[in-house]
Amino acid sequence: MSKRKKNGITALADEIIEQCDARHPADQLLRQALKNEKEMLPRHKAAVVERVYTYFRWKGCLDAERTLNRQVRMARELDADFLSYAGKIKSEVLRKVVPEWTAETMKVTREWLCQIQRPVTLWLRAPKASGKRVELAMKKELQPAGEGCWRNTFRYFGKEDLFQMSHFQHGHFEIQDLASQFVGNFCQPEPGENWWDMCAGEGGKTVHLADLLQQKGCVWATDRAAWRLQRLKRRAARAKIFNYQSAPWDGKSKPPFRKPFDGILLDAPCSGLGTWQRNPNARWTTTFEDVKELTELQFKLLESAVARLKPGGKLVYSVCTLTKQETTRVMRRFEKAFPEMEPWTWDGTKPAVPEVCELDFGKPVHGYTVQPDQWKSNGMFVARWRRRKKA
Ligand SMILES: C[S@@+](CC[C@H](N)C(=O)[O-])C[C@H]1O[C@@H](n2cnc3c(N)ncnc32)[C@H](O)[C@@H]1O
């Protein structure tokens, strides 16, 4: 690589590192900046991304008094040592890859810390109709996740830019993390049911639920951010999903739909600790205060959900975080406040955990934590209940 090219890459990456804050996450800044670099080669774009993320992965171990260039060099050395043999990194160093307050909210294990320093695993999900086609076309680069509801889930080992593939552009597969796919499967929607996806965002789970309904039944998708719902529409069109409706909803006003639902998914706004492998910059912008505030919002959204459930209706709560405040504590508070809701345990007849993880629930569960080091995925907490048929 010429010196000029190298300087261009370094300058662009460092500009992004300096602009990054809670309102301007690295992935968003990178997407915008790289879109404008029409002449830049893909491998040079990859080098920009690598510099930015390596810095944020190791930021807590770096000397902030040094120049940014020096810090990045240090981060790269740590990264190389870690990737050659994770045991080279002492526990007291590794502990600094996440902020100190994390220990007040969850059990910080070496396994978790190592996992979030590793390259991200890519997972795909093909709609029922195109699973076989995708598997045949990309056979060498795919590892199937399992049977049953995991039949069309694959780990991707290839090096191609998946967004540019014609199979992706024609909606033959979605890029969707394994933990997010688990949420859709844990909802167990039955064809013909009506579901409400309360915080649908860009529609990852809406599209999955709609597919599981096999075009029989409907998913009503709401979100506070109208721009996210626009992306949801593009995603649904690509996946050729039509059994959904969408409307903005701020979580406070009356929901835009009158009908009671057979099922509701609350994929709630959360502190996102479960995504710290994918978004290492978020480790340095999320605070313990955020965690406390979010638990109130999560509980309020759960309250709104209960009011909209049919007798016997199913409620699924998910958060891509691992803090006890937003997971087990919200679950316990909810169960105390709403005796009309009963735990809806996984019956164990279908493979709930993908075979590729070599895990099992062991016993029937209605609340479960997806551990990133066991699943090679985001961290996620999911709980589910049913509204009792009689009060
Ligand atoms: C975890 S994300 C949802 C991801 C989405 N379900 C998916 O699978 O792609 C949480 C979503 O909650 C939305 N949100 C945040 N506060 C909200 C509120 N008060 N009412 C409704 N939606 C809200 C955010 O805009 C965000 O899209």
**Cβ-Cβ contacts under 8 Å for 23 (sequence gap 6 or more):** none
Pocket of ligand 1 contains residue 14 by CB under 6 Å:
no
Judgement on whether residues 301 and 326 belong to the same structural domain of the protein = yes
If asked whether residues 256 and 358 sit together in one domain, one would say yes
| Domain co-membership, 344 together with 247 | yes
Same domain, 261 and 203: yes
258 and 322 housed in the same domain: yes
Task: Give the alpha-carbon dihedral of 198, 199, 205, 210, to 10 degrees.
Answer: 30
Say if 104 falls within a structural domain. no
15 part of a folded domain: yes
Q: Is 201 in the pocket of ligand 1 (CB under 6 A)?
A: yes
pLDDT, residue 363, reads 79
In a domain, 111, yes or no: no
Which pTM value belongs to this model? 0.95
Boundary (domain end) residue, out of 97, 114, 145: 97
Ligand 1 atom nearest the C-alpha of 300 is 19
Is the CB of 274 within 6 Å of ligand 1?
no
CB-based burial label for 354 (10 Å; 0-12, 13-18, 19+)? buried
207 and 317 housed in the same domain: yes
Of 303, 330, 302, nearest in space to 316 by CA:
302
Q: Which of 82, 97, 112 is the last residue of a domain?
A: 97
Write out the residue range of the structural domain in which residue 245 sits: 178-387
Residues 197 and 152 both lie in one domain: no
State the pLDDT at residue 1.
66
Closest CA to 200 of 278, 154, 255, 280: 255
115 part of a folded domain = no
In short, whether 326's Cβ falls inside 6 Å of ligand 1 is no
Same domain, 55 and 146: no
Ligand 1 center–CA 301 separation, angstroms: 11
67 and 187 share one domain: no
Check whether residue 203 and residue 77 sit in a common domain: no
Report how far ligand 1's centroid is from the alpha carbon of 197 (Å): 10
Is the distance from the beta carbon of residue 223 to the nearest atom of ligand 1 less than 6 Å?
A: yes
Q: Ligand 1 centre from 201 Cα, in Å?
A: 5
Which atom of ligand 1 lies nearest, measured to the CA of 272? 1
Give the span between the Cα atoms of 247 and 224, in whole angstroms.
9
Distance 222 CA to ligand 1 centre (A): 8
What spatial distance separates the first Cα and last Cα of the chain, rounded to whole Å? 71
What CATH number is given to the structural domain containing 205? 3.40.50.150
> Given ligand 1 and candidates 223, 254, 297, which is best to mutate, with the most ligand atoms within 8 Å of its CB?
223
Pocket test for ligand 1, best of 224, 252, 271 (most atoms within 8 A of CB): 224
How many alpha carbons fall within 13 Å on the CB side of residue 254?
4
Query: Would you state the structure tokens that stand for residue 152, as one six-digit string?
Result: 């069309």
Within this chain, do residues 35 and 60 fall inside the same structural domain, yes or no? yes
340 CA to middle of ligand 1, Å?
26
Any ligand 1 atom below 6 A from CB of 193: no
Cβ partners under 8 Å of residue 4, min gap 6: none
- Residue corresponding to tokens 């735990």: 343
Q: Find out whether 309 and 315 touch, Cβ atoms under 8 Å.
A: yes
Residue 116 falls inside a structural domain: no
Query: Do 360 and 276 lie in a common domain?
Result: yes
Residue 357 lies in a domain: yes
Quick check: CB of 208 below 6 Å from ligand 1? no
Q: Is 204 in the pocket of ligand 1 (CB under 6 A)?
A: yes
The predicted pLDDT at position 379 comes to 98
**What is the structure's pLDDT at 266?**
98
Q: Positive or negative, the Cα torsion across 275, 279, 284, 287?
A: negative
Q: What is the CATH number of the domain that holds 130?
A: 3.30.70
In-domain check, residue 39: yes
Number of domains in the chain: 3
In ligand 1, which atom is closest to the CA atom of 197?
6
For ligand 1, atom 17: residue with the closest CA: 224
Per-residue pLDDT tens digits of the chain, which is 391 residues long: 666 666 889 999 999 999 999 999 999 999 999 998 888 998 999 999 999 999 999 999 999 999 999 999 999 999 999 999 999 999 999 999 999 999 999 999 999 999 999 999 999 999 988 888 888 888 889 999 998 889 999 999 998 889 889 999 999 999 999 999 999 999 999 999 999 999 999 999 999 999 999 989 999 999 999 999 999 999 999 999 999 999 999 999 999 988 899 999 999 999 999 999 999 999 999 999 999 999 999 999 999 999 999 999 999 999 999 999 999 999 999 999 999 999 999 866 566 888 888 887 777 889 999 999 999 999 999 999 999 987 6
Does residue 84 form part of some domain?
yes
Domain boundary among 160, 175, 190: 175
